[in-house]
């Protein structure tokens, strides 16, 4: 794996976003911005983050994610329900933060609108991300979240990640500061 933000292998530039039985993982579109802003403004969705996002912050995040996918061919894909075309949130792969264990490897992550919880969508999308990462020679995938984020940790465990470490997030204070790290080897 190479430096943060740089495409590290040819596949990262060329991979075609995958589909699953119920979902499409794809590049972001302008029409995603409105439902993404609603999701990011929902205090329940954002309860394990320091604060909900404003419309401007949400749009800026979507643009950073879109650029990363454009440059690297992989990233936090927009998640669409195949049967309706509805935007559900994101699931995908992103570089691990530099401050953390697993730095230099890819992190798997997810954020879905509340109406889409409890249906196995995050797990289904994440398993597809692991499958194509493994197929393209990615040796291991990591994930991190606040220690209190039980639903996210449950997804990590469902897709076969195992606990590695606990560490305080350097930029977060209060009850959300303690974070946990999980990983899974793919080879």
Ligand X SMILES: CC(C)(COP(=O)(O)OP(=O)(O)OC[C@H]1O[C@@H](n2cnc3c(N)ncnc32)[C@H](O)[C@@H]1OP(=O)(O)O)[C@@H](O)C(=O)NCCC(=O)NCCS
182 binds ligand X (CB under 6 A): no
Decide: is 45 part of the binding site for ligand X (CB under 6 A). yes
Residue 15 vs residues 1, 68, 120, 137: alpha-carbon distances, Å: 16, 13, 24, 12
The residue behind tokens 């794809």 is 26
Among 40, 58, 94, 149, contact with ligand X (rule: CB under 6 A)? 149
R_g over Cα of the chain: 15
DSSP for 50-105, written as a single string: SSPPPHHHHHHHHHHHHHHHHHHS-SEEEEEETTT--EEEEEEEEEPPTTSTTBTB
Single residue of 2, 151, 170, 185 touching ligand X by CB under 6 A: 151
143 vs 32: CA distance, rounded Å: 25
CB of 13 to ligand X, least distance (A): 26
Give the footprint of ligand X on residues 111-130 (CB under 6 A): 111-112, 117-123
Q: Determine the size of the site formed for ligand X (CB under 6 A).
A: 19
Query: Quick one: 40 or 66, whose CB is closer to ligand X?
Result: 40
Separate counts of helices (H) and strands (E) for the chain: 5, 7
- Using CB under 6 A as the binding rule, whether residue 94 contacts ligand X is answered as no
**Per-residue binder mask for ligand X (CB under 6 A), 128-147, x = binder:** -----------------x--
For the bound state, the minimum distance from the C-beta of residue 156 to ligand X, rounded and expressed in Å, comes to: 9
The site for ligand X (CB under 6 A) is made up of 45, 48, 109-112, 117-123, 145, 149, 151-152, 155, 158
């Amino acid at each position: 794996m190479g430096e943060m933000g740089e495409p590290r292998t040819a596949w990262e530039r060329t991979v075609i976003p995958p589909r699953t039985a119920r979902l499409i993982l794809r590049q972001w579109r302008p029409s995603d911005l409105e439902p993404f802003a609603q999701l990011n403004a929902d205090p329940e969705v954002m309860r394990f983050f320091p604060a909900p996002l404003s419309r401007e912050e949400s749009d800026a995040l979507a643009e950073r994610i879109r650029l990363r996918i454009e440059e690297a061919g992989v990233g936090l894909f927009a998640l669409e329900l195949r049967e309706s075309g509805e935007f559900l949130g994101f699931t995908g792969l992103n570089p691990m933060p530099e401050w953390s264990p697993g730095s230099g490897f890819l992190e798997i992550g997810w954020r879905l609108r509340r109406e889409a919880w409890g249906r196995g969508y995050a797990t289904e999308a994440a398993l597809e991300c692991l499958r194509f990462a493994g197929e393209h020679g990615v040796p291991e995938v990591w994930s991190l979240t606040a220690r209190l984020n039980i639903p996210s940790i449950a997804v990590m465990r469902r897709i076969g990640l195992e606990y590695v470490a606990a560490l305080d997030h350097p930029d977060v204070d209060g009850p959300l500061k303690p974070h946990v790290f999980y990983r899974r080897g793919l080879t």
